[in-house]
A and B are shown apart, each in its own frame.
Chain A
Amino acid sequence: MSTLEIKGLHVEIEGKEILKGVDLTINTNEIHAVMGPNGTGKSTLASAIMGHPKYEVTAGTVTLDGEDVLEMEVDERAKAGLFLAMQYPSEISGVTNADFLRSAINSQREEGDEVSLMKFIRELDSKMETLEMDQEMAQRYLNEGFSGGEKKRNEILQLMMLKPKFAILDEIDSGLDIDALKVVSKGVNEMRGENFGCLIITHYQRLLNYITPDKVHVMMQGRVVKSGGPELAQKLEAQGYDWIKEELGIEDETVGQEA
């Protein structure tokens, strides 16, 4: 079993503090959902864990099986087993999806032990089939001209090809219609198992109809303010966030407001 542990995490962007002490522990074989209204720091949490250049961690720790993640370069974090499905993946002209994926896979292997082209293509074909992606997507330039839905599928394709220990899905459901949502969920559910842990960041409960979380956390004002089981997500869907705000005496849940 592996463990990703976030303790007292404070994060700033351009001098503004967004996260104000986040605590969260995820083990493999667990799926956690982080929910909350807009502007409460959910995506900042995802980006800070992966090492986005604009986010500065000012206090707290992130460890993966005891190893200090915050000390690592972004590529080292990936090699240690972290993956972030991004909300706004970059477009990279002139680099085909397939070439990029092969470089990514080989970067996690020893020199001389690169994945064979045949094996790579077989696996890519099968994962693309699962995600109902057109085969020609492999030869298109990375995310260039992809629709919103294609980009999301492509993020999940990378997840399935790279098989990380921990994946963070940053609003993977935004802008997806119900069919695409089912397909993306199928991909994530295929990953489920002893060697995989997942943190799903979402506004909406509907994704959690297809990927049942083990734990649900609610973020407000840059902190996790409530945690529970899958029933918490359902309650949020039915009743919204107001009851939590009332319970905790929060008037404005966005970052920058204090209780």
Chain B
Amino acid sequence: MTVETKLALTGEDVRSYSESNREPEWLASKRSEAYQLAETLQLPKPDKTKIQNWNFTEFPVHAVKDEPLTGLAELPQDARALIDIENQKNIYVQRNNTPAYLKLSDELKEQGVILTDIFTAAREHPELVQKYFMKDAVKVDEHKLTALHAAFMNGGVFVYVPKGVEVKEPVQVLFLHEGEEVSLFNHAIIVADTNSSLTYVENYLSLSKDSKGLVNIISEVVAEDGAKITYGAVDVLAEGFTSYINRRGLAGRDATIEWALGLMNDCDTIYENVTHLVGDGSVGHSKSVLVGRGTQKQNVTAKTVHWGKGAEGFILQHGVMKEEASTIFNGIGKIEHGASKSDAVQESRVLMLSEKARGDANPILLIDEDDVTAGHAASVGRVDPLQLYYLMSRGISRTEAERLIVHGFLAPVVSQLPIEGVKKQLSEVIERKVR
């Protein structure tokens, strides 16, 4: 007997939502299948975090309707601060569940670069979307949350860079949350075709403090042979959400995916960032920083899976825990049989700022091949008293010294973000959260 979960929407709701988006038939039927799977599939089992009682299924409204923006200047100040309005050439903004603003330079358009919301992409580029949507990177039937995601998808973005095209300036995407009814089931597909390159930066930003909704986000990031994707993200979502955020990459032969993720949510969140190093000589670098506060519970898994020969995986996770927050960091390097000459390195460090906080760093190496190199470092501790002494011996107060050490500890992601406004925002969010 399987336990059926009663879902917030009916199958009929899903079908009519799909119709209202004029989705192609393959997508509509994929959603229906996903809906049925969602009723019976189990929740994922993140290591050492019990999520059986987390609410991943109930939410007030599936999709709210907002007005599109006529210009970026209309955005509220907090969102505007992320954008260099005059110089940002390629940008997509989604307000709640509504595609609100889109700008793509003529140059990129002529080169065949696509930047659009996920529903328009499904209508206008059905073959491309069908090729990548929940097929190779993330599958619908992995667990209840992937199935729910496919069934309830209510937003997202599609970015495609054709063969050989180098996108020099970053593509910026803003997902804004306003209002407590809102839920985000966003799906992002980011593809860099053979020998192309792309820098993509996304922000999840709550503009209102209250939320009763769900976040179930999936990004599928594909770097085909010889391609390079730099993926930056800063998540700042409000306390009331329950979040599942899965960013997964596939790297082809000699392809590179570099992640720089600022995980700054105030809500309970399950994070997953897996990079499949499929091709020989592929490279995956995953850097993430997190600040936990209040009674927030989070689980962060970063993983590189080595399939190709000579695949290089690097994971860095730095977390700061304060108050009664609790976070489990799993760093996993998995080398499959045949992935000879692979290198899997990881570093997980947790800085505890209070007695009641909890932080675990679990470094895991799973190796099915002999001819490889691998290494891991993990630590959980307080601010080093000798570092404090050193800084204070130069006249810096204890508070300021601690601040410098914490910022320094979280710098590996801040320094990697390629958009100045986003870099500054992450610094400011860190400042606000650790104070």
Contact = CB atoms under 8 A, between A and B. Distances in A.
Interface stretch (A93-101, A178-186, A207-215): A93-101
Interface of B: 384-387, 389-398, 400-401, 404-405, 407-412, 415
Nearest to B410: A94
Interface core residue of A83, A90, A141 (most chain B CB under 10 Å): A90
A115 interface: no
A108 interface: yes
A48 interface: no
Given A73-B398, A103-B400, A107-B400, A92 B390 contact: yes
A77 B393 contact: yes
Given A75-B392, A100-B391, A53 B385 contact: yes
A185 B392 CA distance: 25
Contacts of B386: 53, 90
Given A53-B386, A53-B389, A74-B389, A94 B395 contact: no
Contacts of B391: 90, 92, 100, 104
Interface of A: 50-53, 73-75, 77-79, 83-84, 86, 89-90, 92-95, 99-100, 103-104, 107-108, 141-142, 158, 162
Main secondary structure of the interface of B (DSSP, over half): helix
A-B pairs, top 6 by smallest CB distance, nearest first, are A94-B408, A94-B411, A78-B395, A104-B394, A74-B392, A95-B408
Contact of A162 (B394, B397, B407): B394
A123 to B, nearest CB: 16
Contacts of A86: 390, 393
Interface core residue of A74, A89, A100 (most chain B CB under 10 Å): A74
A104 B390 CA distance: 11
A155 to B, nearest CB: 10
B189 to A, nearest CB: 33
Contacts of A83: 393-394
B393 A84 contact: yes
9 contacts: A50-B389, A74-B393, A75-B397, A79-B395, A93-B411, A94-B407, A94-B415, A100-B404, A103-B396
A107 B405 contact: no
Contact of A51 (B393, B394, B400): B393
Nearest to A93: B408
A95 B411 CA distance: 8
Main secondary structure of the interface of A (DSSP, over half): mixed
A92 B405 contact: yes
Nearest to A142: B408
A108 B407 CA distance: 21
Contacts of A93: 408-409, 411
A54 B409 CA distance: 24
Given A78-B395, A107-B395, A89 B390 contact: yes
Interface core residue of A86, A94, A158 (most chain B CB under 10 Å): A94
Given A75-B394, A83-B394, A95-B411, 17 more contacts: A51-B393, A53-B386, A74-B389, A75-B396, A75-B401, A78-B396, A86-B390, A90-B386, A90-B390, A92-B408, A94-B408, A95-B404, A99-B404, A103-B404, A107-B397, A142-B408, A162-B394
A52 B395 contact: no
Contacts of B411: 93-95
Nearest to B415: A94
A73 B407 contact: no
A94 B389 contact: no
Interface core residue of B384, B391, B394, B411 (most chain A CB under 10 Å): B394
B410 to A, nearest CB: 7
Interface core residue of B392, B404, B407, B412 (most chain A CB under 10 Å): B392
Given A75-B395, A78-B394, A95-B407, A90 B400 contact: no
A226 B411 CA distance: 50
A77 B396 CA distance: 11
B394 A90 contact: no
Given A73-B392, A75-B392, A90-B387, A95 B397 contact: no
B394 to A, nearest CB: 4
A52 to B, nearest CB: 6
Contacts of B389: 50-53, 74, 90
B16 to A, nearest CB: 51
A79 B415 CA distance: 31
Contacts of B415: 94
A83 B389 CA distance: 12
Contacts of A108: 395
A103 B391 CA distance: 10
Contacts of A78: 392-396
Contacts of B401: 75
Contacts of A103: 396, 400, 404
B278 to A, nearest CB: 32
Nearest to A79: B395
Contacts of A158: 394
A100 B390 CA distance: 11
